[in-house]
């Protein structure tokens, strides 16, 4: 089961877990003792591989497909997860769109704006609303961890709609943290750059951006996906039992924020 079991016996739903950071989160949850609902929209084979690796740890895993920007599909996902396991303790809203193919604000299109805001804001809201309201009906309550970004500190001259989407998640986090208290906690995790396949494929990343970020990061490191899951485990577990409506940044000191 791994070195610890902070989520032993818990059921965790991770959205967008067929690849990238979501896949790393799902596997990390399993190592902590959780059973998983591995969500995907288009990455079916990736989701099945993640589920197989979770089962190899001795945990349970199901794969669920759905478009989180459509409320009927979100309701179906919630039905499937709760019906299969009989409970859901943690929801990780990992799905997001950073408009990674966009190189400059000058390239923005109306379609790009609509898609990012639909996924990051509407999708996160629908998932939080539907899953969280059902968690309220459980005696044990639940926890929601939204995956945000340090972009809310720095802004994004490359893709302003991405920064707007992640800002929206903070508004949703605070609102539902108050609405669902005290039974369901809601927090946002704000990682910096994580070297996912999507980031590694970005043209700017291959032409000097990586070196520039490293130079400005006090800890002089850009994590791989599995190195960046610790704060998600913390926010999902009882270690953070007195934290709700919060924003936890983890970017190697690139954005030093505080009072």
What are the residue numbers of the active site? 162
C-alpha 145/C-alpha 149 separation (Å) is: 13
Q: Provide the Cα torsion 240, 67, 152, 14; round to 10°.
A: 20
Please state whether beta strands 35-40 and 142-147 pair in parallel, antiparallel, or not at all (unpaired).
unpaired
Q: Provide the Cα torsion 157, 160, 166, 168; round to 10°.
A: 140
In the three-class reduction of DSSP (H, G, I as helix; E, B as strand; rest coil), residue 44 is classed as helix
> For the chain, first and last CA: distance in Å?
39
Q: Where are the beta strands (DSSP E) in the chain?
A: 11-14, 35-40, 61-65, 90-93, 142-147, 184-191, 247-250
In the three-class reduction of DSSP (H, G, I as helix; E, B as strand; rest coil), residue 14 is classed as strand
C-alpha 106/C-alpha 31 separation (Å) is: 43
Return the sign of the alpha-carbon dihedral for residues 251, 184, 129, 28: positive
List phi, psi (to 5°) of 74.
-65, -45
List phi, psi (to 5°) of 182.
-95, 5
C-alpha 31/C-alpha 6 separation (Å) is: 9
């Amino acid at each position: 089961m791994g070195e610890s079991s902070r989520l032993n016996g818990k059921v965790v739903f991770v959205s967008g877990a067929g690849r990238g950071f979501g896949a790393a989160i799902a596997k990390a949850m399993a190592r902590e003792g959780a059973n998983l609902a591995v969500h995907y929209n288009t990455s079916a084979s990736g989701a099945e591989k993640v589920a197989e690796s979770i089962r190899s740890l001795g945990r349970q895993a199901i794969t669920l497909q759905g478009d989180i920007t459509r409320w009927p599909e979100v309701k179906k996902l919630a039905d499937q997860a709760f019906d299969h396991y009989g409970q859901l303790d943690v929801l990780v809203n990992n799905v997001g769109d950073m408009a990674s193919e966009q190189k400059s604000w000058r390239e923005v299109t109306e379609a790009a704006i609509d898609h990012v805001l639909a996924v990051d804001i509407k999708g996160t809201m629908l998932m939080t609303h539907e899953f969280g309201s059902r968690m309220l009906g459980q005696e044990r309550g639940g926890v929601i961890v939204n995956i945000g970004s340090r972009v809310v500190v720095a802004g994004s001259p490359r893709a302003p709609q991405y920064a707007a989407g992640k800002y929206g998640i903070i508004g949703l986090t605070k609102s539902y943290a108050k609405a669902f208290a005290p039974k369901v906690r809601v927090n946002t995790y704000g990682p910096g750059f994580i070297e996912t396949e999507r980031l590694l494929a970005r043209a700017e990343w291959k032409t000097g951006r990586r070196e520039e970020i490293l130079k400005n990061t006090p800890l002089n490191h850009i994590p791989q996906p599995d190195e960046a899951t610790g704060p998600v485990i913390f926010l999902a577990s009882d270690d953070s039992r007195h934290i709700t409506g919060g924003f936890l940044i983890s970017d190697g000191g690139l954005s030093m924020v505080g009072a």
